[in-house]
Chain A
């Protein structure tokens, strides 16, 4: 599994877009990029995944650079309930989760 690097924490104002970056420079060609989030004391929740192309679903958008060495998770209109730890992970058969980014959404 590729090693991922994320900022420890980020702040975002409610209603604004939250852009969470992730570096995965050692990613191999067949490894997907996954994003999960974990609200305090709960199990992680899947958000989105991608391989090469940008992806969008009802929760977020995923932008993957052309060289696939980094990606950005975008929450277009952050709400207070989006406060959580966001994990970026890349893998094929198993996933390795780092410490993630603690996103704090404030009023």
Chain B
């Protein structure tokens, strides 16, 4: 069966410090991967998605970046955190349909499986 891991579970960082959140998926290959952020009292905001190694699409311009160094590894980073970066960060995966597409595959449906999340507080 497939599982998705995120770490750390909670993180408190000072403003201006760097950030690295990691997400890994087991039990599937070539998944689509997603990073979401949920600020207090707000809905889920899609930050980045990836359809393959080295392929990253950004949904919202910000001081965050994402990388996919391996098939089932997705990393969210920042060089200098802002107070507004505080929130609940969620990684998700979905089945990948056709390969080689520059955008998320036009799969039959896009059921996404979410990880447990990382709660980030920037002070």
A34 cross-chain contacts in B, Cβ below 8 A: 109-111
Interface size on B, residues (CB 8 A): 27
Inter-subunit contact A46/B44 (CB<8 Å): no
Q: How far is the CA of A91 from the CA of B44 in the complex (A)?
A: 14
Tell me how far the C-beta of B42 lies from the nearest C-beta in chain A, rounded to whole angstroms: 7
| Cβ contact within 8 Å between B109 and A49 | yes
* Interchain CB contact under 8 A, B117 and A94: no
Is the C-beta of A63 less than 8 angstroms from some C-beta in chain B?
no
Contact between A94 and B110 (Cβ–Cβ < 8 Å)? yes
Interface size for A (C-beta < 8 A) is 22
Please name all residues of chain A whose beta carbon is closer than 8 Å to the beta carbon of B105 when the two chains form the complex: 93
Which residues of B61-108 have CB atoms within 8 Å of chain A's CB atoms?
88, 90, 92, 103-106
Q: A96 and B46 in contact (CB under 8 A), knowing A32-B109, A43-B90?
A: yes
Q: What are 12 A-B pairs with beta-carbon distances under 8 A? A: A42-B117, A43-B115, A44-B90, A44-B112, A87-B43, A93-B104, A93-B105, A93-B110, A94-B34, A94-B46, A94-B49, A99-B42
Q: Identify 20 new A-B residue pairs, CB closer than 8 A, beyond the known A94-B104, A99-B42.
A: A36-B112, A42-B117, A43-B90, A43-B115, A43-B116, A44-B90, A44-B112, A46-B111, A46-B112, A46-B113, A51-B109, A87-B43, A91-B110, A93-B103, A93-B105, A95-B110, A97-B44, A97-B46, A99-B41, A100-B43
Residues of B participating in the A interface, judged by any CB pair closer than 8 Å = 34, 36, 41-46, 49, 59, 88, 90, 92, 103-106, 109-117, 119
